[in-house]
Structure 1
Amino acid sequence: MFDSVIPAIKDSETEMIALRHHLHMNPELSLEEFKTADLVASLLETWGYNVTREIGKTGVVGSLKKGNSVKSIGLRADMDALPIHETNSFPWSSTVPGKMHACGHDGHTTILLAAAKYIASPDCLFDGHVHVIFQPAEEAYGGADLMVKEGLFERFPCDCIFALHNMPGIPAGKFGFYSGNFMASADTVKITINGYGGHGAYPNRTVDPVVTGAAVVMALQSIVSRNVPPGETAVVSVGTFHSGIASNVIPDHASLELTVRAMKQEIRDLLISRIKELADFTARSYGASCVVEVYDSYPVLINTDEYTRFAQELAIKTFGADAVIDEIHPVNGSEDFAFMLQKRPGSYFLLGNGDKEAKGGCMVHNPGYDFNDEIISVGASFFARLVESHCR
């Protein structure tokens, strides 16, 4: 696949690697991507794009038209970093304590910039409109949803839209495609249990939210095993349980936070419904009450059959059959590009970051992770070929 990189993109590889390293050294968290957005906008303007700023607070869209066709395509990259302290000692390691690009969004931004530079050049032959979308806040707040709600596709019409994510564990530069329900929905559920506190020596005079909370935790374990049909993907995990300040004091309140995942909307609805019912019934059975709140919700990411086939066939045509993984499976991770795919057809695909033992093999969201610079030109070339193939 490396032999099929577009020559002009290969020629700018050193420049783009330096850009990626700059972004890695200067990470910005969700909705704080001000300097990143400034840099992206400046480069796009230099290359001749019509640039729109502050969509979804820090989002940037570059638009370019060639020819007379009404065909249009959107390419999206995420820009935000994570609140993780980097443990690497590269020359380009994060210079901001407690913040790092631990998911490769510095690489995704660079890939789209490298593609955008070539797309704007006379070498790229297409007829239509291209919108390069640099999205904030994928890791939190649902930046894609923010951009959609601010009229992204009304202002920048797209026949179809594409995005990629690097994937450690897949050989560097290889592609993975999946049609249909590819990534899980993600809901964060907070359960607040209200009891009646008192002295630990007199539990009979209290309504203990700790005991109630423990019972709720155990009751929740029955949802997937006893309510979800076998074979369906569903996860209900309790991640936090907070209550109390002293060993001899029974507190008034306890709070639990859960992550809830599903691959189908009907299963997602079932999980949320049962969580609310079980928490309420269990709390009342112990004499307590509870409040259940659902927030930070990402929908199931559903790739359109037509455009996933289009992208996969193009990858095989461009890079060869060996460059495409024969079979990949749906994953329980979530991705807010799902909001964009709810509004426009398209596909979200994987690009290998490296085998486990090789460079780029460390999993994302790890303090030792780093994006593999070798795949920048591969991803950029494929984005450019998507434009040339759709808009012709």
Structure 2
Amino acid sequence: MVSTFPHTHSVDVSQIRLAIRALQPQLVEWRRHLHQRPELGFKEQLTANFVAQKLQEWGFEQTLDTSVPLRYQRGIAKTGIVATISSNRPGPVLGIRADMDALPIQEENEVPYRSQHDGIMHACGHDGHTAIALGTAYYLAHHREDFAGTVKIIFQPAEEGPGGAKPMIEEGVLKNPDVEAIMGLHLWNNLPLGTVGVRTGALMAAVEVFQCTIFGKGGHGAMPHQTVDSIVVSAQIVNALQTIVARNVDPIDSAVVTVGEFHAGTAHNVIADTARMSGTVRYFNPKLEGYVEKRIEQIIGGICQSHGARYELEYLQLYPPVINDAKIADLVRSVALEVVETPAGIVPECQTMGGEDMAFFLQQVPGCYFFLGSANPSKDLAYPHHHPRFDFDETALGMGAEIFVRCVEKFCG
């Protein structure tokens, strides 16, 4: 439970709130600067330059020397940055992760800070995540006496794809010093401003994708006996794939198998010789890893064999499920309750079949990923994520920074 975390140094939490509130205009300014300059995965050069510039302004040195209390490293997984803040007192090492990339979407918002990059938009709140992480770094750099140990703030590229967490881990971002626990947040327009979604266990789903081509034998639509109809074969496959969730997966375990693309045929009177489909698989239970893939291939292979067709299947496991550690989730929950100041503001049942490569960090060290409510319909700020009019109530920026800072004070107290 949270009571097991050290509390060797008393911190006036009201002072934290006052300091973060004073920082709010800067958080908004940083977020809007980033929103105007969105960049796709592994191309976040402007974003990384901005982060590095701010860190340098606050006294961070670009070095690997662990004796330097305020330091940062660039070029991790191409554009990633890690900022390290070390206290003067020994203690644990906590990681805080923020993603930086945008999406290939044309923004439709008519706001002064709209995207200046044609066809690219921060439509998922990562500009806000980066601003919150910067605010956390600023506060901690100026209050190193209020905690013990070390905080590593990880600015990660390419969450939207192909995934920057895994290469950052492979390049040692959790080492030197070794991170003992990690946390991160996602601004969430599925929750109203003033709420926090946090739960123990699975929060977000595994993400897997497949592409399949069915090879039949084409011919005249009036002479089907001379053909192997790839559309008929594929239609049976689409229907049969639904039995995986309905009849193979334990009904207590949520899972999704979706065929999102289907392409075949060139004319009304021609039986197509090939058909192509693609889809996605989602699940929470890590025990399902590999199982759904196996069943998909068994079903496709069986149906193709029965009709005399052939197939090619490509299956990719992108992200594992996001699994929160009970102890760190309890810490976040207790801090979030202090920030939102009402039990109704804590939303425990906030799972989504969306995926996140934060999962790779949580596979390495215990941690918690949580949702920070950011929707405000009264200001027309409630469009869903990945929508061309997505935007959020920037009041959430200060709330996010306050939660992170208070978590540091409790974890590294």
- Paired with 1:154 and 1:251, the residues of 2 have a C-alpha distance of 54
The whole-number CA distance in structure 2 between the counterparts of 1:155 and 1:201 is 70
Other structure's SS at 2:348 match = coil
Matched, 1:324 2:324: no
* Match in the other structure for 1:244: 265
User: CA offset at residue 296 of structure 1?
Assistant: 4.9
| Partner residue, 2:50 | 39
User: What's the CA shift for 1:121?
Assistant: 0.6
Structure 2: distance between partners of 1:217 and 1:38: 47
Q: Which residue of 2 aligns with 1:59?
A: 80
The answer to whether 1:82 aligns with 2:93 is no
> What one-letter code is carried by the residue in structure 1 that aligns with 2:296?
I
Aligned: 1:230 with 2:251: yes
Q: 2:168 aligns with which of 147, 162, 168?
A: 147
Tell me how far 1:52 sits from its aligned partner: 1.1
User: Are 1:172 and 2:193 counterparts?
Assistant: yes
Q: Is the 8 A contact 1:216 1:282 kept in 2?
A: yes
Q: Which residue among 29, 41, 57 is the counterpart of 1:18?
A: 29
Counterpart pick for 1:257 among 258, 261, 278: 278
Return closer, same or farther for 1:285/1:180 CA change in 2, 3 Å cut-off.
Answer: same
1:1-392 paired onto structure 2 within 5 Å = 6-47=17-58, 48=60, 49-122=70-143, 125-322=146-343, 324-392=345-413
| Post-superposition offset of 1:318 | 4.7
Distance 1:296 1:27, change over 3 A: farther
Report if the CA contact (8 A) 2:184-2:370 is conserved. Answer: yes
Partner amino acid, structure 1, of 2:359: A
Secondary structure of residue in 2 paired with 1:127 = coil
The alignment partner of 2:290 has SS state of helix
Distance in 2 between residues matched to 1:205 and 1:83, nearest whole Å:
45
Letter matched to residue 38 of structure 1: N
Supply the AA of the counterpart residue of 1:212. Answer: V
SS in 1 for 2:208: strand
Whole-angstrom CA distance in 1 between matches of 2:177 and 2:379: 40
Q: Which has the larger displacement, 309-318 or 75-84?
A: 309-318
Deviations 1:277-305 (A, max 9, x none): 00111111111111222115211111000
5+ residue gaps, structure 1: none
1:124 & 1:194 partners in 2: Cα distance?
67
Secondary structure in 2 matching 1:384: helix
The two structures have a TM-score, normalised by structure 1, of 0.94
Q: String of CA shifts for 1:114-154, please: whole Å, max 9, x gaps.
A: 11111101476112111000111111112112212222213
Amino acid at match of 1:117: Y
CA gap of 1:19–1:230, structure 2 versus 1, over 3 A, is: same
Change (3 A) 1:222 1:323: closer
Is the contact between residue 85 and residue 144 of structure 2 (CA under 8 Å) also seen in structure 1?
Answer: no
Q: Distance in 2 between matches of 1:126 and 1:276?
A: 53
* Contact residue 315 and residue 323 of structure 1 kept, 8 A: no
CA distance in 1, matches of 2:176, 2:276: 42
Contact 2:195-2:347 within 8 A present in 1 as well: no
Structure 1, residues 134-183: CA drift from partner, whole Å, max 9, x if none?
Answer: 11111111211221222221345211100001111423132121001111
TM-score by length of 2: 0.89
Contact 1:168/1:356, CA 8 A, preserved across alignment:
no
| % identity of equivalent residues | 40
How far is the alpha carbon of 1:345 from its aligned partner? 0.4
The structure-2 alpha-carbon separation of the partners of 1:124 and 1:18, relative to structure 1 and needing over 3 Å to count, comes to farther
- Tell me the secondary structure at the aligned position of residue 191 of structure 2: coil
Which range moves more in the overlay, 334-343 or 46-55? 46-55
Q: Could you list the runs of 5+ residues in structure 2 that have no partner in the other structure?
A: 1-13, 61-69
* Residues 122, 329 of structure 1: alpha-carbon distance in 2 compared, 3 angstrom cutoff: closer
Between the aligned partners of 1:219 and 1:356, the Cα distance in structure 2 is: 41
Distance 2:37 2:258 in 1: 33
| Equivalent AA in structure 1 for residue 50 of structure 2 | L
Q: Distance in 2 between matches of 1:300 and 1:343?
A: 13
Q: 1:77 deviation in Å? A: 0.5
CA 1:372–1:355: 2 relative to 1, 3 Å = closer
Rounded to whole Å, the distance in 1 between the matches of 2:342 and 2:84 is: 32
Give the partner amino acid of 2:167: L
Structure 1 position 355, deviation (Å): 4.4
Q: Tell me, yes or no, if the aligned pair for 1:216 and 1:278 is still in contact at 8 Å.
A: yes
Deviation for aligned residue 1:357: 4.9
Equivalent-residue separation in structure 2 for 1:137 and 1:33 (angstroms)? 8
Aligned length: 391
Equivalent position amino acid for 1:109 in 2: T
How far apart, in 2, do the equivalents of 1:17 and 1:323 lie?
27
Q: Which one-letter code corresponds to 1:44 in the other structure? A: L
- The one-character-per-residue Cα deviations of 1:188-207 (angstroms, maximum 9, x if unpaired) are 01112122334445433332
Q: Is the 8 A contact 1:301 1:337 kept in 2?
A: yes
